Amino acid sequence: MSEEKKYGDPIGAAIKEYADKRRPEDIIVSSDICEDDIIPLEVLFRKHDEMPAIEQKALSLARGHVLDVGAGAGIHATYLQDLGFKVDCIDISQGAVDYLKSNELNAERINFFSLKDRKYDTILMLMNGIGIAGKLSNLETTLQHAKSLLNPGGKILCDSSDIHSLYEDEDGALWVDLNTEYYGNFRFQMKYKKQKGPWFDWLYVDFDNLFKASKNVGLKAIRVLEEDDHYLAEITLEK
């Protein structure tokens, strides 16, 4: 059975249903190392004034031709397009891409790593979009590919979280499984009603490791804004 037939499109189904009915259901996120979490559908349809400060700041830093990676329901792309930016959206969810197109956004169903021979001034990877690296060991490769898509003077805007607090004991001591490469490496599965997606690797990376990986591929990462363990980074070509 092919991957297309074996798994559903929970994100796409959720976006379509919420757009049609505005019914506040949740997307269930299962993990291999912690309890299930949820993504409230309303989060995918927020207006600019409902977004957290980190996302608002990232949008204010966007310049030129923008690539929105993992665009979802297009809240960031729509805001920028309304301001006059040229925005390309990509997502691996066919349902999400169909919805984006229905809202007159330029959208394509394609994996980020399959993009070639294109250039952008800004690559947006919000809502921990840098997590597509999957594992810390793949972060440099991910940044190198993003770098190949940048125009001179271009930038990558991404946010992530240092999730070390998940591994703290009650007394504040940090425990880490020594058999794992990095404590921010996760495996997730998305579920919406009866639809399930495949398990996938996802990375939460602390800023120090993002800075090192960026430097190793000729990029410079600056921490623009920080809220608790969550931060926004602006990554540019090293001069």
pLDDT score, position 165: 62
Which helix (H) or strand (E) segment holds residue 107: the answer is strand 106-109
Alpha-carbon distance of 126 to 230, in angstroms, equals 12
Q: Would the pTM of this model clear 0.85, i.e. be above it? A: yes
- Cα angle for residues 7, 8, 11 (degrees, 5° grid): 130
Sheet (strand 150-161) strand order? 106-109, 87-91, 66-69, 120-125, 150-161, 230-237, 219-227
> Of how many residues is the chain composed?
239
User: What's phi and psi for 159, nearest 5 deg?
Assistant: -125, 150
What is the pLDDT, as a whole number, of residue 2? 45
Q: What was the pLDDT predicted at 34?
A: 76
Mean pLDDT for all residues in the chain: 92
Q: How far apart are CA 155 and CA 237, in angstroms?
A: 7
Q: Which helix (H) or strand (E) holds 17?
A: helix 10-21
Instruction: Give the pLDDT of residue 169.
Output: 55
Residues of the chain below pLDDT 50: 1-2, 4, 178-179
Q: Looking at residue 1, what is its pLDDT?
A: 40
Distance of CA 214 to the CA centre of its chain: 17
pLDDT at 71 (0 to 100): 98
d(CA 108, CA 116): 13
Query: CB neighbours (10 Å) of residue 6?
Result: 9
Helix, strand or coil, per DSSP, at residue 29: strand
